[in-house]
A and B are shown apart, each in its own frame.
Chain A
Amino acid sequence: MTDLDCQQFVEQVTAFLEGGLDPAEEQRFVDHLALCDGCDRYLDQVRQTVHALRELPAEALSPENRQALLNTFRAKH
């Protein structure tokens, strides 16, 4: 099996993170990772992006909408 190049590596990042590569593909992916600082950094930046998304502040209902829903709920019971 031929080695992975960087251009192929970046397209397999999500499959790798999802545990979706078969054992041979995963081996090639990890082998490339071990030797390539650029792809190591790329993968890390994808992880950081995912992490950053988790930290996004929650949006909230407007106080008016929230109160209207509470009123509706109360009125029904």
Chain B
Amino acid sequence: MEGIPPDDVLVARLRSGEESAFALVLDSWSGGMLRLARSFVSTEESAAEVVQETWLAVIEGIDRFEGRSSLKTWIYRILTNQAKRRGVREHKVVPLSSIQTGSSADDSGPTVDPARFRPPGDPYPGHWWEFPASWPTPEQGLLGGEARVLLSQALVELPERQRAVIVLRDVEGYSSDEVCDLLEISPGNQRVLLHRARAFLRGKLEEYYEEAKP
């Protein structure tokens, strides 16, 4: 990210108590951390608390950072550990059944409604009955404010593992290796989760544009 010095410089500044360095990482990374935390816990408030706890652990523990990963990765690991612990606690009290809806619930099965395709025995089995409708072009404002709200809400509807993967990959721009590392999942698993999450969100945008049609 622009404006953030290399880790060795940054860590030295943080250790020496330079407040502007702390403010810089706080402002640069907290947004992504909130989104990621939200993958594991059930409310925005809870996510904010996890982020707060994480930063406190960073302030306490920065002297122990060994530089074996990047600073940001180290912080994200602290975050996921805190968030998972809290998530486990919360799920006992707050079942996440409300998010287990529709085709996104499982990690298997088709990601596009099979009814969209011609059945076996048809002259063109497995082909679209009707092509997906076109979307407004970027010039027409693909992502108006409403669509943005819709996407943010749809992210929350995703099963948590899918949400964690797509937040890190597509919202935060991490590589697949980094995501596997952070979430401790296999590359194959990561791809399946990403695939299902993207298909679900594309479907949500499709519904939205369908309804928005004049």
CB distance from A40 to the nearest CB of B (A): 9
B59 at the interface (CB under 8 A from A): yes
- A residues near B (Cβ < 8 Å) are 5-8, 10-11, 13-15, 18, 20, 36-39, 41-42, 45-46, 48-50, 52-62, 65-66, 68-70, 72-74, 76-77
- B residues near A (Cβ < 8 Å) are 16-17, 19, 22-23, 26-27, 30-32, 34-35, 48, 51-52, 55-56, 59-60, 110-112, 114, 117, 124-128, 130-132, 134-135, 142-143, 147-148, 151-152, 166, 170-171, 173, 176, 191, 194-195, 198-199, 201-202, 205-206
In the complex, chain B residues whose CB is within 8 Å of the CB of A76:
17, 59-60
In the complex, chain B residues whose CB is within 8 Å of the CB of A20:
191
Total CB contacts across the A-B interface at under 8 A: 135
A39 to B49, CA, bound (A): 43
Please determine whether B110 and A73 come into contact, CB atoms closer than 8 angstroms.
Answer: no
Q: Sorted from nearest, which 7 A-B pairs have the closest CB atoms?
A: A77-B17, A5-B126, A58-B31, A38-B131, A14-B195, A53-B170, A38-B128
